[in-house]
Amino acid sequence: MRSVKKPWGRFEEFAKNERVTVKLLYIEKGCRLSYQYHRQRREFWRVVKGRVVATVDGVNTVLREGESVEVPVRGKHRVAALVDSVLLEVARGRFDEGDIVRLEDDYGRGMRTRSSNPSRPRGHG
């Protein structure tokens, strides 16, 4: 991420001329994503609203609105919402939901995702 000062304030540039996938994750209080990694992409997370615990390679960090963290390729990661939260996710590299290797999952999903999973609880990744 790059921050550029302007006479009116500043802007933050998350990607420039890159192949990216951008998502907003809406995570309910007390819920968390699976502990996982990706072989083909890295991720950037920024808390838009709320407060979360981000775990990257075993290190837990509490992030508040406006704070961010980078997840490297093959970095083991998860995020848990301390309150209802919104997280901006910018994924760089080849994006494929099948590239998720789950190490732990609270919702009984297998070690790898399937293209569609009707038993997936709503709002959980």
Domain holding 26: CATH number? 2.60.120.10
User: Could you give the dihedral angle defined by the CA atoms of residues 62, 66, 67 and 73, in that order, rounded to the nearest 10 degrees?
Assistant: 110
61 assigned to some structural domain: yes
Which carries the bigger pLDDT value, residue 42 or residue 115?
42
- 10 exposed, middle or buried (CB, 10 Å; 0-12, 13-18, 19+)? exposed
Average pLDDT over residues 81-86: 97
47 assigned to some structural domain: yes
78 assigned to some structural domain: yes
52 assigned to some structural domain: yes
pTM of the complete model beyond 0.85? no
62 assigned to some structural domain: yes
Rounded Cα distance between 125 and 112, Å, is: 12
Which carries the bigger pLDDT value, residue 116 or residue 34?
34
* Structural domain count of the chain: 1
Q: Is-contact 40 5, C-beta < 8 A?
A: no
Q: What is the domain range of residue 67?
A: 19-104
At 12, is the pLDDT very low, low, confident or very high (cuts 50, 70, 90)?
Answer: confident
116 assigned to some structural domain: no
9 assigned to some structural domain: no
100 assigned to some structural domain: yes
